[in-house]
Amino acid sequence: DVKVTQSSRYLVKRTGEKVFLECVQDMDHENMFWYRQDPGLGLRLIYFSYDVKMKEKGDIPEGYSVSREKKERFSLILESASTNQTSMYLCASSSAGPHLHTDTQYFGPGTRLTVL
Amino acid sequence: QKEVEQNSGPLSVPEGAIASLNCTYSDRVSQSFFWYRQYSGKSPELIMSIYSNGDKEDGRFTAQLNKASQYVSLLIRDSQPSDSATYLCAVNSVNSGNTPLVFGKGTRLSVIA
């Protein structure tokens, strides 16, 4: 079974703090993704990575950065947390399919971040 | 802008009935289609994937794909209260640029006992 884990289920931070969200997958997947999910807005892609040290911007990268130093680990960094970054953050991973981008994404349990 | 559209619901069905969830997509070159179920406060979990036109059955779930009409649907037979959740449709296209999977906003299903 694919297992994607995230460092925290719930996190409360203060405005201006630097926040690290970590994601680890144990299936040797090439691809890893960070989304945020907000009511009425659905899932929105923040960043993704197709290989170690590779990163690509998604739809809403502003205010975020990422790091992928090892294949199994993908970190999302909020450089200076703001209240509008209060959200559910979801990490996902997938293997590289016969066509680039196409394979099934498996999600971690999510981190509910509150920025006060 | 590639889009995936779903009726937000809620879709209410009585226990034991067939629930029909629909999804349309805008990108004609889309090749991979996924249905995820998401319980409140939890993360999405994969129910089914479908790649070819026609029906694909897995237990009480049937995915239907019609590429000519650009829609994909999910049928849930013998609906149970435990099926009450939000169902997300996701679509992938070759050469999709910076958005590997495009998700719909989901349809909320409520199965009434």
Q: Does B26 touch chain A (CB under 8 A)?
A: no
Give the C-alpha separation, B40 to B31, whole Å.
29
Q: Does B73 touch chain A (CB under 8 A)?
A: no
> Which residues make beta-bridge pairs with B48?
B35
Cis ω for the linkage preceding B10 (within 30 of 0)? yes
The pair of three-digit structure tokens given for residue B5, joined into one six-digit string: 């559209």
Query: Looking at residue B48, what is its pLDDT?
Result: 93
**What average pLDDT does chain A have?**
92
B87 contacts B74 by C-beta, under 8 angstroms: yes
Q: Does B29 touch chain A (CB under 8 A)?
A: no
* Chain B residues in contact with A110 (beta carbon < 8 A): 42-43
Sign of dihedral through CA atoms B41, B113, B103, A54?
Answer: positive
User: From chain A, which residues contact B within 8 Å (Cβ)?
Assistant: 31, 33, 40-43, 45, 48, 56-59, 90, 97, 99-110
* Chain A residues in contact with B91 (beta carbon < 8 A): none
* Chain A residues in contact with B96 (beta carbon < 8 A): 101
Give the C-alpha separation, B99 to B2, whole Å.
9
A36 contacts A46 by C-beta, under 8 angstroms: yes
pLDDT band at A99 (very low <50, low <70, confident <90, very high): low
pLDDT band at B31 (very low <50, low <70, confident <90, very high): confident
* Chain A residues in contact with B49 (beta carbon < 8 A): 104
The pLDDT tens digits of the residues spanning A42-97 come to 999 999 998 899 999 998 999 999 999 999 999 999 999 999 999 999 999 988 75
Query: Looking at residue A101, what is its pLDDT?
Result: 44
In this structure, what are the phi and psi dihedrals at residue B52, rounded to the nearest 5 degrees? Answer: -120, 155
The mean-pLDDT minimum among B56-60, B66-70, B93-97 falls in B93-97
Strands (E), B9-106: 11-14, 19-25, 30-38, 45-50, 54-58, 61-66, 71-76, 85-93, 102-103
Query: Looking at residue A110, what is its pLDDT?
Result: 97
pLDDT value at B30 more than 70: yes
Query: Looking at residue B9, what is its pLDDT?
Result: 87
List C-alpha distances in Å: A3 to A25, A28, B30, B53. Answer: 6, 10, 27, 30
